[in-house]
Protein backbone atom coordinates (compact mmCIF):
# COMPACT_ATOMS: atom_id res chain seq x y z
CA UNK A 1 0.00 0.00 0.00
CA UNK A 2 1.54 3.33 -1.00
CA UNK A 3 2.14 5.96 1.64
CA UNK A 4 -0.64 8.59 1.42
CA UNK A 5 1.58 11.31 2.95
CA UNK A 6 3.44 13.74 0.75
CA UNK A 7 7.01 14.73 1.52
CA UNK A 8 6.04 18.09 3.17
CA UNK A 9 3.46 16.27 5.30
CA UNK A 10 6.09 13.73 6.41
CA UNK A 11 8.47 16.58 7.28
CA UNK A 12 5.75 18.32 9.28
CA UNK A 13 4.95 15.11 11.16
CA UNK A 14 8.62 14.47 11.88
CA UNK A 15 9.01 18.00 13.26
CA UNK A 16 5.93 17.58 15.46
CA UNK A 17 7.32 14.32 16.82
CA UNK A 18 10.67 15.95 17.58
CA UNK A 19 8.96 18.78 19.45
CA UNK A 20 6.69 16.44 21.42
CA UNK A 21 9.03 16.41 24.41
CA UNK A 22 8.89 20.23 24.54
CA UNK A 23 5.11 20.57 24.65
CA UNK A 24 4.63 19.21 28.17
CA UNK A 25 7.25 21.44 29.90
CA UNK A 26 5.94 24.46 27.97
CA UNK A 27 2.44 23.63 29.20
CA UNK A 28 3.69 23.40 32.79
CA UNK A 29 5.48 26.74 32.57
CA UNK A 30 2.42 28.38 30.99
CA UNK A 31 0.20 26.96 33.71
CA UNK A 32 2.47 28.21 36.50
CA UNK A 33 2.87 31.67 34.97
CA UNK A 34 -0.83 31.99 34.12
CA UNK A 35 -1.99 30.90 37.57
CA UNK A 36 0.58 33.17 39.21
CA UNK A 37 -0.52 36.15 37.16
CA UNK A 38 -4.16 35.38 37.83
CA UNK A 39 -3.47 35.11 41.55
CA UNK A 40 -1.56 38.38 41.47
CA UNK A 41 -4.41 40.12 39.65
CA UNK A 42 -6.96 38.83 42.16
CA UNK A 43 -4.74 39.84 45.09
CA UNK A 44 -4.22 43.28 43.53
CA UNK A 45 -7.98 43.67 43.11
CA UNK A 46 -8.52 42.76 46.77
CA UNK A 47 -5.83 45.00 48.22
CA UNK A 48 -6.08 47.97 45.82
CA UNK A 49 -9.67 48.23 44.58
CA UNK A 50 -8.95 51.37 42.51
CA UNK A 51 -6.26 49.60 40.46
CA UNK A 52 -7.58 48.27 37.10
CA UNK A 53 -7.00 44.52 36.84
CA UNK A 54 -8.90 43.73 33.64
CA UNK A 55 -5.84 43.55 31.37
CA UNK A 56 -3.95 41.39 33.86
CA UNK A 57 -6.83 38.92 34.03
CA UNK A 58 -7.15 38.83 30.24
CA UNK A 59 -3.41 38.23 29.91
CA UNK A 60 -3.57 35.42 32.49
CA UNK A 61 -6.47 33.80 30.65
CA UNK A 62 -4.58 34.01 27.35
CA UNK A 63 -1.52 32.37 28.93
CA UNK A 64 -3.71 29.61 30.41
CA UNK A 65 -5.35 29.03 27.03
CA UNK A 66 -1.90 28.74 25.47
CA UNK A 67 -0.96 26.15 28.11
CA UNK A 68 -4.08 24.17 27.23
CA UNK A 69 -3.08 24.29 23.56
CA UNK A 70 0.41 23.00 24.43
CA UNK A 71 -1.16 20.02 26.21
CA UNK A 72 -3.33 19.40 23.16
CA UNK A 73 -0.24 19.54 20.91
CA UNK A 74 1.45 16.98 23.16
CA UNK A 75 -1.51 14.63 22.85
CA UNK A 76 -1.76 15.10 19.08
CA UNK A 77 1.95 14.37 18.71
CA UNK A 78 1.43 11.13 20.64
CA UNK A 79 -1.40 10.08 18.35
CA UNK A 80 0.68 11.08 15.33
CA UNK A 81 3.58 8.95 16.61
CA UNK A 82 1.26 5.95 16.94
CA UNK A 83 -0.13 6.49 13.45
CA UNK A 84 3.33 6.89 11.96
CA UNK A 85 4.56 3.70 13.63
CA UNK A 86 1.47 1.84 12.39
CA UNK A 87 2.11 3.13 8.87
CA UNK A 88 5.74 1.96 9.06
CA UNK A 89 4.64 -1.45 10.34
CA UNK A 90 2.10 -1.75 7.52
CA UNK A 91 4.72 -0.81 4.95
CA UNK A 92 7.25 -3.32 6.28
CA UNK A 93 4.69 -6.13 6.42
CA UNK A 94 3.49 -5.38 2.89
CA UNK A 95 7.07 -5.31 1.59
CA UNK A 96 7.77 -8.61 3.40
CA UNK A 97 4.67 -10.14 1.80
CA UNK A 98 5.79 -8.94 -1.64
CA UNK A 99 9.31 -10.32 -1.13
CA UNK A 100 8.06 -13.79 -0.19
Give the C-alpha separation, 79 to 66, whole Å: 20
DSSP assigned state of 51: S
Phi first, then psi, for residue 49 (nearest 5°) are: -60, -25
For the chain, the residue count is 100
Which residues, 6 or more positions from 13, have their beta carbon under 8 angstroms from its beta carbon? Answer: 5, 80, 84
Residue 84 has a pLDDT of 82
For the entire predicted model, the pTM comes to 0.76
- Residue 3 pLDDT more than 70? no
Listed by start position, the domains of the chain span 26-88
pLDDT digits (tens, 9 = 90+) for 49-71: 898 999 999 999 999 999 999 99
Amino acid sequence: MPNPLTNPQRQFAAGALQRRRLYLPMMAVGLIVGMGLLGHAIWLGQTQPNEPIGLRIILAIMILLNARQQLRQHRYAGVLAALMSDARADQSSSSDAIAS
